[in-house]
Structure 1
Amino acid sequence: MDGTSAFYSKSEEAIEREVIAGGHQTDQSQIDVVYEINCCVEWIKNAGFLRVALQFPDDLMKDAVSVTTRLETLLPTGYTVFILGDTSYGSCCVDEVAAQHYNASALIHYGRSCLSQPVKMPVLFVYGRLPLHIDDCICKFSCLYPDVTSSVIIVYDTVYLYTCDEILNKLQSKYENCVMSTIRGEGTSADTTDGEPGKFKTITKCGRTISLPGDKALSEYSMFYIGGESLTLNNLIYNFQSSQFFSYNPCTKEGRRENVNVNKLLMKRYFMVEKAKDAKIVGILIGTLGVANYSDMLNRLKVLTKKAGKKSYVFIVGKINVPKLANFMEIDVFVLIACAENTLLDSSEFYKPVITPYEMELACNTEREWTGEYPTDFGQLLEGGSHHQSIPDTFHQDETDISLVTGKIRTLGHGDDNIETGQSLVLRSEAMTVATQTESAGEFLKMRSWQGLEQQLGETPVTMAVEGQKGIAMGYSDEPT
């Protein structure tokens, strides 16, 4: 072929127009290839999974019935596949909880993925195949890197995984220092070594594995991303922080340098850290139930905030939006436990800041210092992770600093001898300790005009049940036609 994807019968331009416009149903003749039907059938049959849940993102739900019908046709009698409805959190994460509600023995996740590792059930990832003109991609790469000695690491959105081998083979004939990342054990020719000890070192970030020569550092490489503007791109920029970050958008066929001031982005996030240091009441948001070790991160945040002298509440609200969090105005700051891509939530529209677990660690853990790195995967903060830092048993009583937001003196931990009231400092007593920790939430709830359902047991008169309206909302049976 001439560099175009071989499995599409339509012209590439027509397909790209569909992708940009929101897409249409995949042609029935291409379902088997795009959704790797034969691979799915073999995986189900070999493992003997009798009930398999199929998870589709919103943009692929249009093909869900066709994929399910095709699987049912090829599977023997006794095997059941079914489609999961709307996921409670991000569609890039595996919705193991919904699958368990329907007694699924395994799950197939279709579409792009954040590469978070599930733990509760076997999962097969089918990333899909969006169209990519390989020759055009290589041409744009050559324009962005005219020096053939450039050291470049290629990363990509998961939907372009199928093109990696061909792209790398064509580039390495000219660019000897070009390295292709791999994901979830999906190998490319970049993985192979001659077995010589110490010749290569392996770096894993954002679910991607990179093999580099032992004498070269990650900072010596430029980054080249294949994919459009997305949470994936933002996540990679935060984690790799390369001085040069280029991208190629397969939909628009545009190659460009990402004009991202990483330091400016980090300073915006560091402002959130200052807000977290000032916070007295912290809301811990559960943004995923399908990422490994999320409960360990929850327990760690509870311990951390308690030792820092802050009160914490846990919230499970499903997909997060402004109206949901606006119901909890007594919370000073929210910390979101989610996958690496969804944790960097833009909280500019929210009434209170929404920060990451790492930012909460910077605010509360006196043993942690900011080195300039910015891990978005909370698993790296846990024991055994690359950015783990133990929580001190107690905070030093004399550790105080000045808030960069309010300009007032603040302290951390239960050992504080003083508390802040207005512009002055007064001696903390045992009674006042309780009062200051509960004042914000308690007083706010008392002032609410709506305080929730009250049971009023024994106070409500008993009445006979009566028959209500029948029909549908647009025309009940007792309404005139």
Structure 2
Amino acid sequence: MADAFSSSSEIAMLRQFDVQVKKRTPLDKLDELYQVNKTCDFICQNHFEKVALQFSDDLLHDSTAVAAEVERTTQTKVFILGDTSYGSCCVDEVAAEHVGADCLVHYGHACLSPTKRLPVMYIFDRGHLDLDRCTSAFTELYPDTQANILLFYDVRYTHAMDDLMTKLCVIYPNVVLSQIAVESECCYNYNRTESEEDTNEESYFGRKFILKSGLSVKDCNIFYVGQEGSTLINLMMTLNRCSFTSFDPNTSSGRVESANINRALMKRYYAIERAKDANVVGILVGTLGVSDYLSILQQLKDVIHAANKKTYVFAMGKINVAKLANFLEIDIFVLIACPENSLLDCADFYRPVVTPFEMEMACNPNRKWTEEYVTDFRHLLPGGQSHVLLSGGQEEETETNMSLITGSVRSCKMNTEEVVISQNSSLVLRNQTLTVANTNSAASFLANRSWRGLEQKLGETPVMKAVTGKKGIAIAYEDEGAAS
């Protein structure tokens, strides 16, 4: 047995990695899974010359074969987008524009957020759905055949929904199927029919449906086809007045969704209280492709500034704990992203990460807590179904309230107070309760740090001649003796 601390010439490092290599799809199956012919027709009919193909990570093993077939059939220049700038469910228009693409074809799971820059075509992967088992589970969950039921589904089961509806409508006359309908002029997956021009049409997360006159969503039960994940969680958070059931095609089992939504909402309400106590807010731009992200960015800055808080804007791609830990001067972060990437579990983060809706709840006195919960930030904008104006110039009776976290009294009026100068020449704000607001800037926080990052120190570092470094690997350099 070799000594682990012997010289490098005697060391053989053997590591085993359990890597699951996915088999490539046979060429005769490509069209069935990736709708290659439909993609080529889309490209040729619109005379596109440069095409970007965006694949999710689990489909990258087939990307080269699909790209080669598309390029051969259409005689166009094809680019593969593998490493997306943000979540793979979002259309990466930024990466597509870097290569000068005329259009983008998105493969795999999608959040269906609207886009504006490029024409987009969605190709969903096809999951297997046992229609008989799904129908049987549906009848067990809904013994009342006259119940009003909305049918939602993961996009990978879109191809089977019409067949499922054919089976269900025989028994359940009040079942309504939601249709994939991306709200974008540049999307080529949905064409409105004349029968859909109805004032009772509603839309949630790229899925539209029409209810009977006088019927609202809260009067319906919701049946979801797909695995537990971000899509189902967003639906349950947004439509929290509805009862949910689901069918998992992987296990062929149905169930009543028993996730404690009230408990989840209370966790989010705690995040709102943290946002009310925060003085410095970091706005994380988690998307560059979702429509109107610049509008919500400006609206957030206005609302936060009106609430006597400082803001800093960050654009850092995919969010993780290590990245946000570099900014300890930030009290709380607000993430601008698609609905499926907005609800982050803050347990591992050093500072909470909230949604635009939660930040508005904390900063806009006119927005009151109700049973409504909004994960799609576009609904918060002017003209949106959940837009609430900021407080005007009228005086309000309630000026202060108590923090449920710290127990301290805080002002809840919009900032119109005077600016006073302290002895250290830094600007602070005085509110109407005659207490000085703590608005230390990030620069002041950095000045108090013992370590501030790498510094150049030009002219202060002595010049040293280059010397021969150590050879070998870290556990056993050649000039080090063997460990005893």
Would you call these one fold, judging by a TM-score over 0.5? yes
Cα deviation, residue 414, structure 1: 2.3
Compare relative contact order (CA 8 Å, sep 6+) and give the higher one, 1 or 2.
2
Question: Secondary structure at the residue paired with 1:405?
Answer: coil
CA distance in 1, matches of 2:92, 2:401: 43
1:284 alignment partner AA: I
Cα deviation, residue 73, structure 1: 2.2
CA distance in 2, matches of 1:117, 1:360: 23
CA distance in 2, matches of 1:210, 1:40: 26
Question: Secondary structure at the residue paired with 2:339?
Answer: coil
Question: Secondary structure at the residue paired with 1:341?
Answer: helix
Aligned counterpart, 1:322: 321
Cα deviation, residue 443, structure 1: 4.0
Cα deviation, residue 108, structure 1: 0.6
Aligned counterpart, 2:401: 401
- Spell out, residue by residue over 1:97-116, the C-alpha distance to the aligned partner (whole angstroms, 9 max, x if none): 11111111111100111010
Aligned counterpart, 1:131: 128
Aligned counterpart, 1:433: 429
Cα deviation, residue 287, structure 1: 0.6
The verdict on how the C-alpha distance between 1:436 and 1:240 changes in structure 2, with shifts beyond 3 A counting, is: closer
Aligned counterpart, 2:175: 178
The verdict on how the C-alpha distance between 1:417 and 1:395 changes in structure 2, with shifts beyond 3 A counting, is: farther
Q: Is the 2:135–2:164 Cα contact (8 Å) retained in structure 1?
A: yes
Aligned counterpart, 1:8: none
Cα deviation, residue 448, structure 1: 2.7
Cα deviation, residue 382, structure 1: 0.5
Aligned counterpart, 1:27: 26
Q: Is the 1:53–1:104 Cα contact (8 Å) retained in structure 2?
A: yes
- Spell out, residue by residue over 1:196-234, the C-alpha distance to the aligned partner (whole angstroms, 9 max, x if none): xx7x71111222111100021211110000000111110
CA distance in 1, matches of 2:160, 2:181: 16
* Alignment match of 2:92 (pick from 92, 95, 103): 95
Q: Is the 1:283–1:334 Cα contact (8 Å) retained in structure 2?
A: yes
TM normalised by structure 2 equals 0.83
CA distance in 2, matches of 1:256, 1:157: 16
* Alignment match of 1:120 (pick from 117, 122, 136): 117
The verdict on how the C-alpha distance between 1:121 and 1:454 changes in structure 2, with shifts beyond 3 A counting, is: same
Q: Is the 1:110–1:128 Cα contact (8 Å) retained in structure 2?
A: yes
CA distance in 2, matches of 1:237, 1:386: 18
Aligned counterpart, 2:14: none
CA distance in 2, matches of 1:445, 1:81: 47
Q: Is the 1:182–1:188 Cα contact (8 Å) retained in structure 2?
A: no
- Spell out, residue by residue over 1:49-104, the C-alpha distance to the aligned partner (whole angstroms, 9 max, x if none): 1111111111111111121121122123xx11111131121000011111111111
Q: Show the 5 A alignment for 1:156-171.
A: 156-171=153-168
Q: Show the 5 A alignment for 1:209-288.
A: 209-288=208-287
1:30 alignment partner AA: K
Aligned counterpart, 1:10: none
Question: Secondary structure at the residue paired with 2:85?
Answer: coil
Aligned length: 440
- More moved, 392-401 vs 53-62: 392-401
Aligned counterpart, 1:446: 447
Q: Is the 1:221–1:242 Cα contact (8 Å) retained in structure 2?
A: no
Structure 1 residues not aligned, in runs of 5+: 1-20, 420-425
CA distance in 1, matches of 2:287, 2:294: 10
The verdict on how the C-alpha distance between 1:389 and 1:22 changes in structure 2, with shifts beyond 3 A counting, is: farther
Question: Secondary structure at the residue paired with 1:452?
Answer: coil
Structure 2 residues not aligned, in runs of 5+: 1-19, 183-188, 431-435, 480-484
- More moved, 266-275 vs 383-392: 383-392
Q: Is the 2:419–2:428 Cα contact (8 Å) retained in structure 1?
A: no
Question: Secondary structure at the residue paired with 1:124?
Answer: strand
Q: Is the 1:22–1:59 Cα contact (8 Å) retained in structure 2?
A: no
CA distance in 2, matches of 1:51, 1:432: 54
- Spell out, residue by residue over 1:413-439, the C-alpha distance to the aligned partner (whole angstroms, 9 max, x if none): 3235899xxxxxx9xx99443995553
Cα deviation, residue 25, structure 1: 3.1
CA distance in 2, matches of 1:462, 1:433: 48
CA distance in 2, matches of 1:33, 1:473: 50
CA distance in 2, matches of 1:177, 1:43: 36
Q: Is the 2:226–2:247 Cα contact (8 Å) retained in structure 1?
A: yes
CA distance in 1, matches of 2:40, 2:473: 44
Aligned counterpart, 1:289: 288
Q: Is the 1:307–1:394 Cα contact (8 Å) retained in structure 2?
A: no
Q: Is the 1:164–1:188 Cα contact (8 Å) retained in structure 2?
A: no
